[in-house]
Structure 1
Amino acid sequence: MESETTPPAAARPLDRWYEAAGVRSGVRRRFHEETEQGRVFFPAALVPYLAHEGLRGLPPERVRELTIRHLYQFLLSTAHLETRVVNSGAERIANGRAGVDLPFADRIDAYKVYCDEGYHSLYSLDLADQIAAVTRVPVPDWDYGGFVARLAEAGRALLPGEPVLAQLLQVVVFETLITAVLNELPNDTTVVTAVRDVTRDHARDEGQHHRFFSAFFHRLWAGLDTSLRARVAHALPPMVHACLTWDTAPVRSSLLLAGVAEPTADAVLRDCYGAAAVQRVHDMGRATVHMCESAGVLDVPGAREAFASHGLVREGA
């Protein structure tokens, strides 16, 4: 019997999953044409290339198609990466194949994450299909296979001989990054309602996933020996960078579909996804870096310098 002074068990991120998770309590978001009210499919400020000088002569209908396909990029990348990257790690944790000593409750929570990610993929593809049916802008056949393959290759190169650890670290990175889309789009009233609602639903679940994977990382890190900690500390910055490196193939494809000449499309990619993306890496990686700092990763000799060299922390910070 617990004494009156026994503190209550700490709340877990997914304690209210059965009541609060989107897959348990959400509704199907329906798209209704609202552009006559001046609403857009994606905020221009969150489309990195829309203001590029090479696109200034595009007719308004082509610009509209670009924003719709940029929305498709977000929705399709969600559908592919949640199932092919995040759920591969969630399944390992759920089935006790992660090589980490975890409470059984953590394995249950990993299954909750697995269910969430499948649902996010479902409603992302569903919304894309609804928008295509109304706008007559087809959903391109983008499968993100190149990005997934490059991510796997980066894991093998950065942590040779540790495929499971590399996979788990990539999942932790993905689930602790903070994207401007999830953070800003739900409150942007210039965007069509269904897009805002789906993004808000997604962001609500991902907030809980962030907490789950941050706690998982602390357990994972605590179980590593000194030599492996050193390898992981130096592998994490390029791993974060790899996760944040845009797959530009869909962008190029979208530009060409809009009638942009190939040399111009290539110039847009160089200008918008090259050195200009450094600030984006720093901003999106802040929460991941904070997690690493709190676990002691940046205390490993040379780790802070490695994070700085990849634009994740400021020199001397």
Structure 2
Amino acid sequence: MIEPLIDPGIWKNRFTLGEWNTHASVRTSDHHYKLPTDIEKQLESQDWFPPALLPYLSHPEISSADPAITKRLCANHLVNFLHYTTLLEHRIVNRSVEVIIHDELEFTIPRRMKTAALQLYTDEGYHALFSNQLAEQVIDFYGMTDRPTTHRRITRLNHLIDRTPDKQRALTWFLIGFVSETIIAKDLREVCQNTLVSSVQEMLSDHLADEARHSRYFSEVFHYLWFQMSDEVRLSSARQLLEILFIFFESDKKWLERSLRSVQLSKTAVQQILITMADPQHHIFRTRSGASSTLQALKRADCFKQPEIRQMFSNRRLLDE
């Protein structure tokens, strides 16, 4: 094991998810996340997903079309988001939690960290369940036939793991979980600031309450591990963090094209939207803006005090010079 640079004992009162038995949605929520019986009425004034968070909806061909087009594109995005969430929680986040629980990391792991990780693992399984259940209801409501089977982001993260040397994989899994959990809390907070279909609002609000605690947990664990890393491991981790961050904010061209074509947009409009969404400058902006909580967590852990690491992030325009 790598010898810690600080006494792990000073962290003995951390690594909890608070009063988990009385706060975790899997333990306390009485929401059933069923589509409301007055769904048609609700859709007259409420949305499946906040249109303001989908910049391509401002394209003239969409904004001037029947409002039902925007509703359907928001529904498509919600289903994709929920399907992605199910995959992310099961195949990515819970795998990153397993490396903490089962001592796969080459670091000293406090018992409280493992206990909280087991609680978090339980939360994420529930998030996968209610995300899948709600997605299936929206699919049935619209009679969607192009059911999602995979997700570009999940595929890209798995490719990253596959090309990581065996000895480094456990830490890479953790880094992916850390980025995921610090990003998703911010994403959910932005989504929940809008008025959505009641069952969607309830589900996302319950999810946010859990993920806010998960974000704090992963940030604390990252800080703890960072202090135990050698300079060499810190540098390699920083390189991977950069790659992970940019993967999380890539545009999924194939899915977006299918979604746009499902509402019979013109080929010209579809191509214009795809080109805009794939623009490298937009990718940088999405990453820097969307990852602000992750970057703050890195700053709190003093990651950027190492000049080489600060320069790496500045070169990729995630930090100012």
Greater alpha carbon shift after TM alignment, 17-26 vs 56-65: 56-65
User: Is residue 2:113 matched to residue 1:106?
Assistant: yes
Distance 1:178 1:79 in 2: 13
1:240·1:285 contact (CA, 8 Å) conserved in 2? yes
The one-letter code sitting in structure 2 at the alignment partner of 1:257 is: S
User: Does structure 1 residue 31 correspond to structure 2 residue 35?
Assistant: yes
Q: Of 245, 249, 253, which residue of structure 2 is paired with 1:244?
A: 249
For residue 154 of structure 1, report the CA deviation from its aligned partner: 3.2
Preserved contact between residue 59 and residue 273 of structure 2 (Cα < 8 Å): yes
Q: Residue 77 in 1 paired to residue 84 in 2? A: yes
Match of 2:74 in 1: 67
- 290 and 60 in structure 1: CA distance in 2 versus 1, 3 angstrom threshold: closer
Q: Give secondary structure in 1 for the equivalent of 2:153.
A: helix
Give distance in 1, aligned partners of 2:152 and 2:138.
Answer: 26
Residue correspondence of structure 1 range 1-317 to structure 2 within 5 A: 10=13, 12-27=15-30, 28-32=32-36, 33=39, 34-35=41-42, 37-56=44-63, 58-133=65-140, 135-138=141-144, 140-155=146-161, 162-177=168-183, 181-189=187-195, 191-274=196-279, 275-314=281-320, 316=321
Alignment: residue pair count: 306
RMSD: 2.4
Aligned partner letter, 2:294: T
| Distance across 2 between alignment mates of 1:260 and 1:146 | 23
Structure 2 CA distance, aligned partners of 1:250 and 1:179? 23
Counterpart contact for 1:159–1:231, Cα < 8 Å:
no
Q: Please tell me the residue identity of whatever aligns with 2:289.
A: D
1:290, distance to aligned residue in structure 2 (A): 1.5
* Percent identity over paired residues: 26
The one-letter amino acid of 1:15's match is G
Deviates more, 1:117-126 or 1:224-233: 224-233
Task: Give SS of 1:50's match.
Answer: helix
Alpha-carbon contact 1:120-1:202 (below 8 Å) kept? yes
Structure 2: 5+ residue stretches without partners: 1-11
- Which segments of 5 or more consecutive residues in structure 1 lack a partner in the other structure? 1-8
Report the Cα distance in structure 1 between the residues aligned to 2:103 and 2:145, rounded to whole angstroms.
37
CA–CA distance in structure 2, aligned partners of residues 153 and 233 of structure 1: 18
- TM-score, normalised via structure 2 length: 0.86
Change in CA separation of 1:144 and 1:308 when aligned onto 2, cut-off 3 Å: farther
Once the two structures are TM-superposed, the CA of residue 19 in structure 1 deviates from its matched residue by 1.2
Q: Distance in 2 between matches of 1:273 and 1:201?
A: 32
